[in-house]
Structure 1
């Protein structure tokens, strides 16, 4: 069972195994069609396509009309139906990949753990690692038999915007923001029209989890990085722009042997939708 990462070499040995479901999670926040177009041009053999916008996220507004963020969590029942359509069973090994250092694949990794499915891993190094081994790509969309995955007890916790607001008062937990430093400081109006960060938050750009070749740093290096930010992982609240790249930091902490941090799914996009919530700018 692979529960964090799988290497391209290990996946290549198992790619035809019917118990393995490979999901292409490529995406572009500025071109929402780019992931599916890339999948059509060429993807790992047997892989299905997972759409961040329509399948791995839910409605942007709740039943009460309140904005929940750019990529709120999907309803569990809807996500289960998507996974069954991909052929995922309770005993399936799921492998998620992208071409962006795992920034989108980590979202599916986290979502499956949220459903209580342990056997899910991110392809370390993504498409580049696969192609560096001379492995083939395919243009065929596979027909998968319907899966039987069910919802079980989650492996990962979440917090709400109310929890984050309360934390401003009691300071019991540390908010760690996965966005780039300029966005964290409030200097990138193109991506964040309302810039800055939650007061008291620390900045850990998700790309800092990676080596130069796009693969994750080893467990010891990641453990050293994150223990400088938070004493105990269960004290940490992970966030980003919309709850996607925060999952990359959560995966890195899991690799480091530091499980227990919570995801704030609404993240910055939900936080700034209410102008009464405080904002800080500048460095952490």
Structure 2
């Protein structure tokens, strides 16, 4: 076999391997879910009104008397639920220069975003993602901070939508719905978002606070530092339950009984729970599980999370933060 043939075969093999790797990383995994079982599970949650099935969303979209806006948190706008808008993290995060990234966009930016999407105060907003629902719950959390009343998570996301036999399409564009002048009249940041000062207080006041690390085990032990963080470690005294443990094999949320068992130690503490991760995304998923599925009301999401904490520990060398950092390398 001559060198040209070998070279050509090598290129073909590389392309084939690259294609399958790309597919495995980016492709939406189709999930077929039993409709009645899913609805029965949702009905047992503390707040079933915060969840929606593909069948319910489809029916709402087809009912001209229903005002519903679906928003997918996806990296691509090419494959989405028909009629839905698509965002990615930079679209709803702080756009101004800050020493660390990942924090929520300010109230005014979120109001403009919803205005562009034609959202009114009484519009039903459905958030969804693909393959992993933590990005959908992060956006949902920000909408709850904004004070929007009717926000629902599509249980299982785009995966179960496709699994139900429904089509996908390119995302909607701004202007497809008449723009509105959305105003967040019930802004609720203080109740749902823990800031750095409160987290420091939580470390020093274990009688009233319970810190919950929702990152991967390698991040929690300090053996891995994700891009964007300023150093390894965890917040002193925090317990660890990775956010993904709340998800069933089919990509939907586990049953209430399973979740109560998973978070048994957290729930029996009867304290104010502060969840954190790298940048408040995975911890928003845990916040959603605890508050909406289980019904434990005393929960906050730490928006700045490990990125902000590690910035203050490593870059600013704030002693109030550094001395409360475990598994760090200063």
What is the TM-score normalised by the length of structure 1? Answer: 0.86
Q: 1:100 to 1:147 in 2, by over 3 A?
A: farther
Q: Which residue of 2 aligns with 1:30?
A: none
1:2 positional shift: 6.6
Q: Which residue of 1 aligns with 2:68?
A: 20
CA displacement 1:108-132 (0-9 Å, x = unmatched):
1111111111211111111110000
Alignment of 1:169 with 2:213, yes or no, is no
Give the Cα–Cα distance (whole angstroms) in 1 for the partners of residues 119 and 241 of structure 2. 33
| Higher percent of residues as helix | 2
Q: Which residue of 2 aligns with 1:272?
A: 310
1:96 positional shift: 0.6
Q: 1:109 to 1:167 in 2, by over 3 A?
A: same
Gaps of at least 5 residues in structure 1 are 27-34
Q: Which residue of 1 aligns with 2:152?
A: 121
Of residues 114, 117, 127 in structure 2, which corresponds to 1:96?
A: 127
1:100 positional shift: 3.2
Q: 1:140 to 1:51 in 2, by over 3 A?
A: closer
Q: How do 1:129-278 residues align onto structure 2 when only pairs under 5 Å count?
A: 129-139=160-170, 141-142=172-173, 143-153=176-186, 154=188, 156-171=191-206, 172-191=208-227, 192=229, 194-231=231-268, 235-253=272-290, 254-274=292-312, 275=314, 276=317, 277-278=321-322
Give the Cα–Cα distance (whole angstroms) in 2 for the partners of residues 221 and 232 of structure 1. 18
What is the TM-score normalised by the length of structure 2? Answer: 0.75
Q: Which residue of 2 aligns with 1:82?
A: 113
Alpha carbon RMSD of aligned pairs, Å?
2.2
Q: Which residue of 1 aligns with 2:38?
A: none
Q: Which residue of 1 aligns with 2:43?
A: none
Give the Cα–Cα distance (whole angstroms) in 2 for the partners of residues 167 and 60 of structure 1. 28
Larger radius of gyration: 2
Give the Cα–Cα distance (whole angstroms) in 2 for the partners of residues 249 and 60 of structure 1. 27
Q: 1:200 to 1:60 in 2, by over 3 A?
A: farther
Gaps of at least 5 residues in structure 2 are 1-46
Give the Cα–Cα distance (whole angstroms) in 1 for the partners of residues 109 and 270 of structure 2. 30
Say if 2:210 and 2:269, in contact at 8 Å, map to a contact too.
Answer: no
Say if 2:222 and 2:232, in contact at 8 Å, map to a contact too.
Answer: yes
